[in-house]
Amino acid sequence: MATNPWYVLTGAPSSGKSTLLNELSGRGYKTVKEAARYEIERQVAAGEDFQKLRANASEFQHRVLRLKLEWEAKLPKDEVVFFDRGIPDSVAYYINEGIPEDEFLHDALQKCSYRKIFILDLISKENFIHDGARSETWEGAVELDALLETAYRNLGYQVERVPVMSVAERADFVLVRLD
């Protein structure tokens, strides 16, 4: 499908995406942080209320998509890059938040191209972390996990599940499975 060596790390909240991304970065790989978390942290730091920020789900998802598109447009197409969530994650979030698919999402999906998708299994209900940029419940996270896998598969992407193991083992697991 894609010729550029770009890989997405995705999964439900609290599945270890950012931790794995940091491990890969520490091993010298180019990485791209999660756009939604970046946007939330940026807006809250500027004085925006988290609940108000998320109140208009459609507007928030459009902001996140714009960021993803901007960031991806600036990246080298011939270099291995790992993303904390890809553009098709938005499909799952649209469904999860009851937002009707729109032209902006469809256009964004036409512009993205990843070689392979790695979906991280949720760590455990006991280790599910609620933080300032995460609003999902455990049950919502489980539902989102299924929506993410369906979204990528429906778009024709090769999806590989990453089981729960140590961060180093997860990084090794991903790296030996790059196409």
Map out the domains of the chain with their CATH numbers.
6-175 (3.40.50.300)
pLDDT value of position 23 = 98
> Cα–Cα distance between 41 and 160 in angstroms, integer?
29
Distance CA 49, CA 113 (A): 34
pLDDT at 1 over 60: no
115 in Cβ contact with 2 (< 8 Å)? yes
Distance, CA of 14 to chain centre: 12
- pLDDT tens sequence across 53-111: 777 889 999 999 999 999 999 999 999 999 999 999 999 999 999 999 999 999 999 99
Mean pLDDT of 132-157: 84
The confidence score (pLDDT) of residue 126 equals 66
Q: pLDDT tier at 42 (50, 70, 90 boundaries)? A: confident
Residues 6+ apart with CB under 8 A from 72: 32, 87, 111, 112
Q: Is the CB of residue 35 less than 8 Å from the CB of residue 67?
A: yes
Q: What is the pLDDT of residue 54?
A: 72
Give the per-residue pLDDT at 131: 55
138 vs 116, residue with greater confidence: 116
Is the pLDDT assigned to residue 171 strictly greater than 90?
yes
* Mean pLDDT, residues 17-27: 96
